[in-house]
Copies of this chain bind each other. A is one copy, B any other.
């Protein structure tokens, strides 16, 4: 069976960098944004839309109250489309995992691939470190105040947690869902990559 590493990560913790470094070191395929591009191709939805919903739970629906024997379930286009993106994503994750050894970032891949026994990593860091990392890698982040950027980081992480919980019925940050949780505060991501690679090097 192919070897699979899944990486869940707090925003700004260096999880994506860890994935890329591992991919370079081990020669495994790497999937992150690539999954979005594939969904865009298959669904003809806009990249921005797919990016936006691909790690977000569907919008909460308010059902109209029915009386009598009516059990008609109204269609909600936003819900339906977001579910379609999730299903497509789920399918692509299964397909790439079947193709070769790989590293998949986010997208509940740890849960989607649970029958393939992936090595499940969670990457986190303290807020100060995440602020710094965001600013190092993104011009837009450099233009935000500490408070604004902090709010953005918290919002992204809250969405990821809600998305994970919605599709897996598990707590995103619960340690029992992971094999290894790595704190990148004050330590280079290179170091994290080195220790994880050690597990997979032949």
A-side residues, CB < 8 A to B, are 122, 124, 126, 173, 175-176, 178-183, 185, 187, 191, 194-196, 198-199
Contacts and interface: CB of A to CB of B under 8 A. Distances in A.
Number of copies: 2
Given A191-B199, A199-B191, A176 B183 contact: yes
Given A195-B198, A195-B199, A183 B187 contact: no
A179 to B, nearest CB: 5
Task: Tell me the dominant secondary structure on chain A's binding face.
Answer: mixed
B173 A175 contact: yes
A6 to B, nearest CB: 13
Nearest to A179: B183
A140 B152 CA distance: 52
Contacts of A124: 175-176
B194 A183 contact: no
Contacts of A175: 122, 124, 173, 175, 181, 183
B176 A126 contact: yes
A199 to B, nearest CB: 6
A180 B183 contact: yes
Contacts of A198: 194-195, 198
Closest 7 CB pairs of A and B: A181-B181, A195-B195, A198-B198, A179-B183, A195-B198, A175-B181, A124-B175
Contacts of A187: 179
